[in-house]
Structure 1
Amino acid sequence: MSCKDEQIYGILWNTTMAGITLKEPCPKYQKGVATRFCDEHGEWEPPNFINCTNEALVNASSLLDSIIANETRGQIQETVNNTLRLMKNLTSSRNGIGAGDLSSSLGVLEKIVTVTNATGFPIEKEVFYAVIDNILSPNNSNAWTTVSKETEKDPSFLLKNMDRFSKITLRNDNITTTKFNGSNFELVINRAKIDETGIRFPDEQSNNVFLNSEENPTFLKLKKQASNATKAINYVAVLYKTMSDILGSDSKRFIRSDKNVMMLNICGSLILSYTIFISSVEQTSNEVACVAITAIIHYLFLVTFFSMLGLGVYYFMSITVTYYALYVANNFQSKSRVRWFLGGIWGIPVIITATNLGAFWGKGYHLKSYCWLSIESGSLYLFIIPVCLISLINILIIVSLLRVLFASSIVARSSLQRKAS
C-alpha cells in the first residue's frame, strides 16, 4: 500500500509507501522540515509543522542568543523591542499560528525575559502583553495541543515566564499604573496602601464578561486591611480568560513535563522503599522473605539515585549542551525523551540488583539482624559503587552548569548578591 500524491498547505507530498514518514521543506518564508506519516492503510496523516518556523522569527531568536552569550553588546534594547513588534505581527493572524511558530515564539519570549532581567533595560510592555494575548487566542488551540505533545513548552511554560516578568517589573520602586485589557487575558500593575483602600481585579470597567450576561464576572477582591504600613505595596494581577480552551479536555492543572515525571519517580521510589524498609527490614525469621525484601529495597533505592542521575543528565543537555552545541540541545528538547530516561531509571537497577542477588545467593547476601545488604560479604558494594558514581557524575554536571552560568554575560553583569544566589 502507498499514499498517493497530494498537495496541501503549499507542499507537494509525493507518493510514499505505507509506514514511511516523508520529509519535505517547510512552506514559503519558513525554515525547517515538515513531516507527514503514511499509515499502514495507505492513508496520509495530517502534516506535522512543529519544526517549521518563520524565517524572521528564527533570525530574531539567533540575535537574542548572541546577546545572552555576550557576542552582541550594542543595541540590546532596540533588538528586543524590534523582536516584540515582529512577534506581535506574526502572532496576530485570525486563523491562528502554526505549531512551529508557537513553539519558537514561546522560546523567544523566554529569552526576552532573561535579557530584561539581566540588563534592566525597559521594553515596550504593551507590545509584550499584546504578544501574550495573541498567543493565548483559542484559534491557536490545535497548535498548543501539538506543542504540548511534542515539546516541553506547555501552557505552564508561558505562565512561568509571565511570572518571571512580573517579578522583574515589581523590582521597580517607581511603578506607574499599567492596565492591559485584551481579548484573552487581562493585567493590572499598580500600587496600593491596603490600610487605606482595597484591591479589586478586574475592575468594573473591564471586558471580563461571560457570554451569558446574567452571570457575574470572575473577580478577586482584597478588602481594606488593618495595617500600619508606611509604604504602598506593588502588585501584579493577571486573569487568563482562555486557558481552559488552550489546555484542552485531556490536559485541564495536570500539566506534565519530563522533569516533573522524573521528580515523581524520585518521590514514588522513596515512598515505596521507605515504607518497605520501615515495615519489613527486621523480618529476618523467614529467609526467603528477607532475601526478597533486601532485593526490593536495594532495587528501589537504586531507582531513586538513577532518577537523580536522570535529572542531572536532563539539566546537562538542556543548559550545558545548549551553550556549547545549540543545534544538538534544540534537537534534544524538540520532543519528549522521558521514555528513554524512564527505561534507564527502572531498567539499569534491575540488572545491578539481579547480578548482586545471583553473585551472593547463599553467601551472606543480607545482614543477620536486618534485611539489608551485607558489608562483610561485599554485597553492599553493588549499592555503594553505583551511588558514588552517580554522585560524582552529578557533581561534575553541577560544575559544568556553574561554568556555563558564570561564562554568560547575564551573570557577569549581575550583582555579587545575584551571583551568589
Structure 2
Amino acid sequence: MFHTATNEKIGNHLADLIKQSKYKSDRQFGIAYFKQRYHFDPSPEEIQKTQNRICQIKKGNKGIQIEDLPIFSELLQVSIEDILSAGAVLAPISNRTTNYSIACSKDPSEWKAYLQREDKPVLNPDEFNKTIIDYALEVGNYSFLKYLMDSHYIWFVGNDPGEYYIGFGAGTSIERREIGFTDILDITLKESDDLRFKMITLAIKNNDFDVLDQLHARELPMLYTLGCMYAFHPRSDELPSSQNIDNMIQCIASSSKGTLNYFFENFEITPSRPRQESSSFIFPYSGAVLDIMIRQKNRNVSYILEKVITYNKSILKKLLQLTNNSIKNLTAFYESANGSFYSNSHYIHEAWKNYYFYPQTGFVAYTTPVYLKPYHGFITNVVHVTAKSSDSEIQFLIDELNETYDTFNQYFNKKENPQDV
C-alpha cells in the first residue's frame, strides 16, 4: 500500500527519470512514447504536442493519465508504483504477462497462450479497469484485433439480427469459468457499442472494407427499432454521441474517396420487430462528416455534396409520389362511396396526415391512409450541413442541399394547413 504523490512531486521525479534514462530529453522520450502507443512515427506537429504535454506533466500542471502509466513504466524501466509515489516506493518491475502487454504484442504465439490460460485474465479488466480489447483498441493493434475476430474469439456484431437493436449482439466465444468468478468480457462487449466505433476507426485507417461490412459500420442499433408506423418512429431528438463517435466521424472526413463513397451509399435495414418492412437509410452522421470536410476544404467535398443532394432529392420525389397518389386514390375512394361530398382540401389533408419529419436527426416517415389498399409507407433519413464555405461553388451546393432539407420541414409545418402544401 502506498500513497499517490502530488502532481508536482510526480513531475519532478519524472524529470529526473527522463534525465537519467537513455532518452535524455523530453523530445526523445516523447518520440519513444508516441511510437510505443500508436505504433507509427509521429509527425513534427505530433512530436511537439507530445513534448509539450510531457513538459506540463513534469511541471506538475497536468497529471499522468492511466493509459500513460504502463508505457512510462516500460520506457523508464521503473514500476508504476515508483512513478505514482514519486520514488518513495521502489517496487520491482513486474515481468508478468498482462492485458496491456498482450494488447501491445505482435506475436501470435503470445496471443494464443494468453487466450488459453485457465485463469482467464482475458475475460476481465485489470487494475486500471481496462480489458485487453480496450488496450488493443487504444494502441491500435489491428493485427491482434483481426486475429481475435478472424478466429471467432470475439465479434462486435453477432449472427442474430434480433439482437442488433441493443448493440449488435457483440460477444466472445471464450468460455467463462465455473460460477463464482466474474469473467465479464462478454457482458462488456454486449453493453458497449462504443467499442465498435473504435474498431470502425481502425478499419478505416487500414482500408479494410471487409471488416467495415462485418462491423455494420454505417449503422446504429436504433435503426433496427424504426418503422414507418408512428409507434416505431425515433423517440430521441439526438443521435448517440461519444468521443469514440467523434473520432470515427473525423477519421471518415479525412479518408479516401473510396471510403467516403462507402459511407455515403444508402443501405437497407430489416428491423428486428415483426411485421415491419425493410427500410433504406444513409449514414446518420453524414452531415457531421460533411461539416468537417467543408471546414477542412477537403478536395472531395463537392463530389460528396452532389451525391447527397441527389439522395435527398430522391427521397423528396418518393414522398411526393406517394402523397400525390394518395390524393388521387382518396378522391376516387370517397367519390365512389359518397359522391363528391368532400372538398379537395380534405383529400390533401388526409393524404399528408401520416407524414412526419424529425429535423434534429433528419428522419422522415410517411404512410398512406390505412384504408387505402395497397398500403405503402417508408422511414428514412436525409442530410443537411451547418458549415459554410468561402468558395462560391461549394457554398452553392451547400445551399442547394439545405434547401432540399428545409423542404421536408416546410411540408411538415404545413401539415395542419394542407391547402398551402
Into which bin does the TM-score normalised by the smaller protein fall?
under 0.3
Larger RCO: 1 or 2 (CA < 8 Å, sep 6+): 1
TM score, norm. by length of structure 1: 0.27
TM score, norm. by length of structure 2: 0.27
More strand by percentage: 1
